[in-house]
C-alpha cells in the first residue's frame, strides 16, 4: 500500500493510473477503522482495479469541539488493517493540507441537510459536503463507497454529486452489525459494558418496527418506538423518525422508500442507526 499525506502527489499518482485505464474505487473515512469500513474496502476491491482510502478527521463537521477532541485517532492500526484488506493507496492528510487558514464557504444542498441529524448537529453536513467535495477533487475515483449507517449523509452527498454533476458513482453499502445487533461505529469504543447492553435497544427497536411495519400505521409505530427507547435506562433519545427515503420528511403511504432512523445518546456517546422498511 502506498501512503500519501499531501494532495498533489496522490492526485498525480492516481491520474497516471487512470490514464492507463485502471478504474479507481474510493472509501472516505475518519479512521478508527472497523469491520464496517473494511466491508466498503472489500466491495471497492471487487468492483475496481485500484482502491483508495482516505483517513481525515474533518474538523468542520464537528459542531462540538469536545466531540472532535475525543474522536478516536488510530492511524497506525488503521494503516495495518488497510494493508491487510488489500487497499492500494492511503491518503492521510493533515488539516493544513485540506483547509486554508480561516477558510469559510459551504455548499447549499437544500433543506435535507437541516433535518434529523442536521437539526441536532447544526452545520454538520456543511462540513461533510465541504470535505467530500475536496476529497472528490483530489481522488479521481469513478466510484465512491459510503455506508448505509449514515443514511442521511449518503442522501446529501448524492444531492451534491447531482447538483455539481461530479463524475463519480456513489455506492451505498449495508450496515455491519456486532453479534447482538449494535451497528458498527468508530464511536462504539467509547461505550462501557453497560452502555453496550443499553445500546441494543436501538437496533432491537428498529427490527421490531420493521416486523410490524405497514404504511398505514406510521404514527402509531413512531410512538411505540419512542416509548421502547425512552424506557431503556442510560439512553436519551434524540429522534426516531419513519421518513420518506428521499426527502427525509415523515413518510406517507405514497413514499417510494421508507426508512426508520434513530439517534440517541447512550451514556456519553451519541449513536445513530437505521433500517429500510419499504422500497430501497
Using an 8 Å Cβ cutoff, are 50 and 23 in contact? Answer: yes
Cell 405497514 appears where? 214
Residue 28 binds ligand PAF, judged by CB under 6 A: yes
Nearer to ligand PAF, 128 or 228 (CB): 128
CB nearer to ligand PAF: pick between 205 and 274: 274
Stretch that binds ligand PAF, among 17-25, 26-34, 198-206, 261-269 (CB under 6 A): 26-34
Segment holding 270, helix H or strand E:
strand 269-278
Q: Does 150 bind ligand PAF (CB under 6 A)?
A: yes
Q: Whose Cβ is closer to ligand PAF: residue 144's or residue 251's? A: 144
Kindly report the number of other CB atoms within 10 A of residue 271's CB atom. Answer: 24
Site string for ligand PAF, 239-258 (x = CB under 6 A): --------------------
Q: Under rule CB under 6 A, how many of the chain's residues touch ligand PAF?
A: 10
d(CA 95, CA 68): 13
What mask, x for binding ligand PAF by CB under 6 A, covers residues 61 to 90? x-----------------------------
DSSP state of 186: G
What letter would DSSP give residue 185?
Answer: -
- What's the distance, Cα to Cα, between the start and end of the chain in Å? 35
Q: What's the maximum distance between 2 C-alpha atoms anywhere in the chain?
A: 58
Q: Among 11, 37, 114, 249, which one carries the catalytic annotation?
A: 37
Question: Measured from the CB of residue 202, what is the shortest distance to ligand PAF in angstroms?
Answer: 18
List 42, 58, 112, 203, residue binding ligand PAF (CB under 6 A): 58
Select 115 or 225, whichever has its Cβ closest to ligand PAF.
Answer: 115
Report residue 177: phi and psi, to 5°: -125, 150
Show the binding pattern over residues 113-132: x = contacts ligand PAF (CB under 6 A), - = does not.
---------------x--xx
Cell match 492511503: residue?
90
CB 28 → ligand PAF: shortest distance, Å?
4
If one asks whether residue 155 binds ligand PAF (CB under 6 A), the answer comes out as: no
Return the residue matching grid coordinates 500500500.
1
Catalytic residue status for 114: no
The answer to whether residue 29 forms part of the interface with ligand PAF (CB under 6 A) is yes
Cβ atoms of 236 and 203 closer than 8 Å: no
Q: What is the DSSP letter of 177?
A: B
Q: Who contacts 65 (Cβ-Cβ below 8 Å, separation ≥6)? A: none
Q: Do the beta carbons of residue 258 and residue 278 sit within 8 Å? A: yes
Grid cell in block for residue 93: 492528510
CB of 255 to ligand PAF, least distance (A): 25
Span from 24-32, 98-106, 110-118, 265-273 in contact with ligand PAF (CB under 6 A): 24-32
Give Cα 94 to chain centroid, integer Å: 21
Q: Residues interacting with ligand PAF, by CB under 6 A?
A: 28-30, 58, 61, 128, 131-132, 150, 153
By annotation, the residues acting in catalysis are: 37
Amino acid at each position: 500500500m502506498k501512503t500519501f499525506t499531501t494532495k498533489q502527489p496522490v492526485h498525480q499518482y492516481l491520474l497516471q493510473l487512470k490514464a492507463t485505464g485502471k478504474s479507481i474505487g474510493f472509501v472516505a473515512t475518519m479512521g478508527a477503522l472497523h469491520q464496517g469500513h473494511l466491508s466498503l474496502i472489500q466491495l471497492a476491491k471487487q468492483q475496481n482495479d485500484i482502491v483508495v482510502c482516505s483517513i481525515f478527521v474533518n474538523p468542520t463537521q464537528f459542531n462540538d469541539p469536545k466531540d472532535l477532541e475525543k474522536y478516536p485517532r488510530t492511524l497506525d492500526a488503521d494503516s495495518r488493517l488497510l494493508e491487510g484488506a488489500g487497499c492500494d493507496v492511503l491518503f492521510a492528510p493533515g488539516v493544513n493540507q485540506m483547509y486554508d487558514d480561516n477558510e469559510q464557504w459551504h455548499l447549499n444542498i437544500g433543506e435535507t441537510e437541516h433535518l434529523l441529524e442536521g437539526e441536532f448537529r447544526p452545520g454538520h453536513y456543511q462540513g461533510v459536503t465541504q470535505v467530500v467535495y475536496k476529497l472528490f477533487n483530489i481522488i479521481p475515483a469513478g466510484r465512491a463507497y459510503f455506508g448505509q449507517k449514515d443514511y442521511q449523509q449518503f442522501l446529501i452527498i448524492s444531492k451534491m454529486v447531482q447538483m455539481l454533476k461530479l463524475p463519480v458513482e456513489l455506492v451505498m453499502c449495508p450496515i455491519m452489525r456486532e453479534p447482538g445487533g449494535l451497528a458498527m461505529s468508530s464511536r462504539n469504543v467509547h461505550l462501557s459494558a453497560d452502555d453496550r447492553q443499553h445500546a441494543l435497544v436501538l437496533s432491537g427497536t428498529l427490527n421490531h418496527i420493521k416486523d410490524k411495519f405497514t404504511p398505514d400505521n406510521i404514527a402509531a409505530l413512531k410512538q411505540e418506538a419512542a416509548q421502547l427507547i425512552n424506557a431503556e435506562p442510560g439512553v436519551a433519545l434524540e429522534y426516531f423518525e419513519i421518513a420518506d427515503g428521499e426527502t427525509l420528511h415523515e413518510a406517507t403511504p405514497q413514499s417510494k422508500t421508507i426508512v426508520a432512523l434513530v439517534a440517541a445518546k447512550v451514556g456519553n456517546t451519541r449513536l445513530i442507526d437505521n433500517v429500510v422498511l419499504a422500497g430501497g
